[in-house]
Amino acid sequence: MEEGRPEGLKRSFRVTGMTCATCSRTVEKALRKTEGVSFAAVNLATETAFVVLERDLPQETLEAAVRAVGYGVAYGASEDIDRKRYEESRRNLFLSWAVTGPLMALMLFHMAGAHVMGFLWMEIAGGAIVLFGAGRASLKGAWIALSHAHANMDVLVVLGSVSAWGTALLAATGLPLVSFGALGSMIMALHITGRAIESSLRDRAAKEIRGLLRLQAREAVVLDEEKGEISLPIEAVKAGSLVLCRPGDRIPVDGTIEEGRSAVDESMITGESVPVLKGEGDEVTGGSLNLTSPLRIRVTRVGPDSFLAKMIGLIQEAQGSKIPIQAFADRVTNAFVPAVAVLAVSSGLFWAFGAGRFGAFLDRAALSLPWVTPVRDPVSLGVFAFITVIVIACPCALGLATPMALVAGTGQASRKGLIIRNAEAIQTASGVSIVVMDKTGTLTEGHPSVAEHSLDGETLAWTAALEGQSNHPLARAVAALAAPGGPRPDSVEEIAGEGIRGFFGTSELFVGRPLDPSPYANQFKLGRTVVEVRKDGKPVGFLSVADPLRDDAVEAVSRLKSMGIRPVMATGDSEKTARTVAEAVGIEEVHAGIRPEGKLSLVRDLQALGGKVLMVGDGMNDAAALKGADVGVAVGSGMDLAIDSADIVIVAGGISRIADAVSISRQTLSVIRQNLFWAFAYNFVAIPLAMAALLHPVIAEAAMAFSSISVILNSLRIRSASDATPQR
């Protein structure tokens, strides 16, 4: 999946004022037209804009592009913004129904033939309060859209409610027109109600993401030699600082323990409920909880480089991007609003000029459908049909169908320890038929140790020092044998898939793949990996490294097979070692002794057979294959290059999360298709009925709100469905 994957400088920020898919698409177009922006995607459900820049642009440039089309940018804490919006929506909801409720009751008396004195003026006054008070956000949204030459859902709602309220004004002037003023209030009140419910359900769908944000510490206690303990905002803490973390506090930074020993709860990050005992030299992650004793921690990563910040950034990136199936919905909604306006006007004109000829049709329909309007005045009937079409056609459900499912899917993935970096992977992973897995660090723990070696003291010291310059799991196992104050290589060259070369004075040392594996057959039978050491081109000894299987490796392979997915092993290790591990986990197809370019070729060959390929790896030698696969999955403990090349990152749990990723992908895509089907089906049935004057505007508004809410509720099923999948 090399094409279409955004690269470069990435930014995410919150856009305010959007109410529908047309709004988000307008902002997206404005950002894409900005010079220096190579890619932009705006997500309505999360109100997030995600951009990829060709060069480093001032944030003010992006803000100006958003504001130029009538929308705003917010930077406050996400929870603060959501709380203010929630409080405002509650006030508007209360105000709208405090006025609309009595109006509806009076309207029923009026329709039953009981004349209510002054009811027309009540409609006018009440409508003004609801439309221009509680509904001012919708009026503003409609004005923004129209003033920038486009239409959105607010335009339809405002057009319908203001048109209905306007009939009361016209009737008050003495024109022989039936007043629909109370309907104007009801349309806006129902719209506000739907908005409030949508907002509540959106927040519920995204609560897992906000849970990560809550893990971030606001302050850290820094230990200064001169000033002692200093409380600093987390943004002011620098790498290399020494911080104090007391029992019961969240660890504020990524770092290494220099003093202390304590139980640490990492469940919110790793998913493991059992606390881990940490001591001097152990790494800790910001956001985990210190339980029993004080710890002094040397800071290694801060700000955007910290683990938690990276994970939050990946989630925001995923939720800000789109998947291919959404393009279809976007094209439809782009033409939907103007088409509805034409249909509404056509319907209004038809009944205004054809009421006398086709009124009998409505009379017959009223015998079966009690809500069919008794109005037969041509102008009033035309206005009635116009308003009903406008109200019924609000494309909320279409606009929410994909984003809400995407929010629910990525949120559920994060709960299971999966970060979906590229939203396209959600659609692609559902069709995966082959999973290619690396061995070391993927099927195995990636924390190997040296089981046996044949090196003399000096060569062992040189070998350990040289391997200390590599991040490969096998290299770290060898580097652990280094003694303090040992030798250091003069130069180092790491060869992906082969090993590492360095010079100690005039002597060249190579540590890596054996030239001839046959002398090490006994080690391979034990399932060990052999690292050969060559000095000046000649073998001088070996080290055998044992790496235990991950606890869930067998379960992962079994689950993939049960889902109809073919597991394949691809490793640079020897054939015999690879076969031993493959047999232990249940993999029949093994490709051993292959280099990085060989892994990529294998992926290409499997793709050429017609299947979608998911590649799992953790090292530099896996990066090319991760990039070339239809879906790349990196193990979070692996190298940055592998993580940067992947679409999905496993940050908690083991490789059984691969099956979870495919399961969530399949469920998410299924829900998106269901959402789109029902959104289209609803409009396909309802609009012709509205044009035929067979629906009442109140029923139309309720049906529109129900369709939007049903889309959101259906999206929330992703969580319950994937929760049914067994977890470790």
Looking up residue 575, the CATH number of its domain turns out to be: 3.40.50.1000
Residue type, 581: V
DSSP string, 535-593: ETTEEEEEEEEE-PBPTTHHHHHHHHHHTT-EEEEE-SS-HHHHHHHHHHHT--EEE-S
**562 and 484, same structural domain?**
no
Q: What is the 8-class DSSP label of residue 446?
A: S
298 against 695, higher pLDDT: 298
Q: At residue 129, does pLDDT exceed 90?
A: yes
For residue range 399-416, list pLDDT tens digits in order. Answer: 667 777 777 787 788 778
Most confident of 73-77, 172-176, 654-658, 686-690: 686-690
**475 and 603, same structural domain?**
no
Residue 611, by phi and psi: left (phi above 0), alpha (psi -120 to 50) or beta?
beta
Q: What local confidence, expressed as pLDDT, does residue 519 receive?
A: 87
**489 and 430, same structural domain?**
no
**284 and 247, same structural domain?**
yes
Q: d(Cα 149, Cα 72) in Å, to the nearest integer?
A: 18
Q: At residue 280, does pLDDT exceed 90?
A: no
Q: Do the domain assignments include residue 279?
A: yes
Q: Do the domain assignments include residue 275?
A: yes
Domain housing 18: 9-79
**553 and 435, same structural domain?**
yes
Most confident of 158-172, 314-328, 384-398, 610-624: 158-172
Q: At residue 579, does pLDDT exceed 70?
A: yes
Instruction: Single out the residue in 589, 620, 646 at which a domain terminates.
Output: 646
Backbone angles phi, psi at 32, to 5 degrees: -65, -30
Q: Could you tell me the pLDDT band of residue 457, with boundaries at 50, 70 and 90?
A: confident
Q: d(Cα 379, Cα 385) in Å, to the nearest integer?
A: 10
Q: At residue 675, does pLDDT exceed 70?
A: yes
Tokens read off for 722: 């994937």
Which of 43, 708, 706 lies closest to 406, judged by CA? 43
Q: Could you tell me the pLDDT band of residue 198, with boundaries at 50, 70 and 90?
A: low
Q: At residue 271, does pLDDT exceed 50?
A: no
Q: Do the domain assignments include residue 229?
A: no
Q: Do the domain assignments include residue 686?
A: no
Spatial CB neighbours of 665, under 8 Å, sequence gap ≥ 6: 409, 425, 426, 427, 428, 429, 430, 432
Q: Do the domain assignments include residue 529?
A: yes
**555 and 541, same structural domain?**
no
Percent of the chain with pLDDT strictly greater than 70? 81
* pTM for this prediction: 0.58
Average pLDDT, the chain: 79
Ranges assigned E (strand) in 199-245: 219-224, 228-233, 242-245
For residue range 349-365, list pLDDT tens digits in order. Answer: 999 898 888 888 888 88
Q: Could you tell me the pLDDT band of residue 147, with boundaries at 50, 70 and 90?
A: confident
Q: What local confidence, expressed as pLDDT, does residue 350 receive?
A: 93
Residue 248 near residue 291 (C-beta atoms within 8 A): yes
Q: What local confidence, expressed as pLDDT, does residue 541 receive?
A: 92
Q: d(Cα 165, Cα 183) in Å, to the nearest integer?
A: 7
Q: What local confidence, expressed as pLDDT, does residue 720 receive?
A: 64
Instruction: Single out the residue in 18, 47, 79 at which a domain terminates.
Output: 79
Q: Do the domain assignments include residue 660?
A: no
Q: What is the average pLDDT across 512-528?
A: 83
* Ranges 4-13, 232-241, 505-514, 640-649: which has the least confidence: 4-13
Residue 160 near residue 391 (C-beta atoms within 8 A): yes
Instruction: Single out the residue in 517, 546, 575 at which a domain terminates.
Output: 546
155 against 83, higher pLDDT: 155
Q: Do the domain assignments include residue 274?
A: yes
Pairing of β 219-224 and β 589-591: unpaired
Q: Which residues are the active-site residues?
A: 438
Q: At residue 452, does pLDDT exceed 60?
A: yes
Q: Do the domain assignments include residue 654?
A: no
Q: Could you tell me the pLDDT band of residue 326, with boundaries at 50, 70 and 90?
A: low
Domain count of the fold of the chain: 4
Residue type, 357: R
Ranges assigned E (strand) in 65-154: 72-74
Q: What local confidence, expressed as pLDDT, does residue 155 receive?
A: 78
Tokens read off for 667: 């469920």
Most confident of 113-117, 566-570, 609-613: 566-570
246 SS3 class:
coil
